A = this chain, B = another copy of it.
Amino acid sequence: MIVVLHPNASEEKVKELHTWLESYNVKIAPINGVHKSVFGLIGDTSKIDINAIRAYDIVDTVTRVQEPYKNANRKMHPEDTVIDVNGIKIGGGNFAVIAGPCSVESEHQIIEVAQRVKAAGANFLRGGAFKPRTSPYTFQGLRAEGIELLLEAKKVTGLPIVTEIMSLSHLDLFADVDVIQVGARNMQNFELLKELGHCKKPILLKRGLANTIEELLMSAEYITAGGNTNIILCERGIRTFEPTTRNTLDISAVPILKKLSHFPVIVDPSHASGITWLVEPLSKSAIAAGCDGLIIEVHDNPKAALSDGAQSLNPDEFDGVMSSLKKYIQAENKVM
User: Which chain B residue has the least Cβ–Cβ distance from A324?
Assistant: B331
Chain B residue contacts of A210, Cβ below 8 A: 208-210, 238-239, 241
8 Å CB contact of A289 from B168, B282, B312: B282
Say yes or no: A250-B252 contact (C-beta < 8 A), given A65-B36, A185-B189, A191-B167: no
Q: Does B252 contact A248, Cβ atoms closer than 8 Å?
A: yes
Once the chains are docked, how many angstroms separate the CA of A215 from the CA of B311? 20
Once the chains are docked, how many angstroms separate the CA of A277 from the CA of B240? 25
Q: Does A221 contact B135, Cβ atoms closer than 8 Å?
A: yes
Once the chains are docked, how many angstroms separate the CA of A254 from the CA of B167? 31
Contact with B along A285-297 (1 / 0, CB 8 A): 1111110000000
**In this assembly, does A323 line the interface, its C-beta being within 8 Å of a C-beta of chain B?**
no
Q: Does A134 contact B167, Cβ atoms closer than 8 Å?
A: no
Q: Is the interface of A mostly helix, strand, loop or mixed?
A: mixed
Chain B residue contacts of A168, Cβ below 8 A: 167-169
A81 to chain B, nearest CB (A): 18
Q: A130-B191, A252-B278 are in contact. List 16 more A-B contacts (CB 8 A).
A: A20-B304, A31-B38, A33-B42, A36-B66, A51-B310, A55-B309, A61-B63, A136-B194, A185-B189, A213-B242, A251-B251, A252-B272, A281-B289, A284-B288, A285-B286, A328-B328
Can you give 22 A-B contacts (C-beta < 8 A)? A29-B31, A33-B40, A34-B43, A35-B66, A49-B138, A55-B276, A68-B134, A136-B218, A166-B190, A168-B168, A210-B210, A214-B244, A240-B250, A243-B243, A245-B252, A248-B252, A252-B278, A252-B282, A255-B281, A255-B282, A284-B289, A288-B328
Q: Which 6 A-B pairs have the closest CB atoms?
A: A55-B309, A210-B210, A54-B310, A284-B288, A31-B40, A288-B288
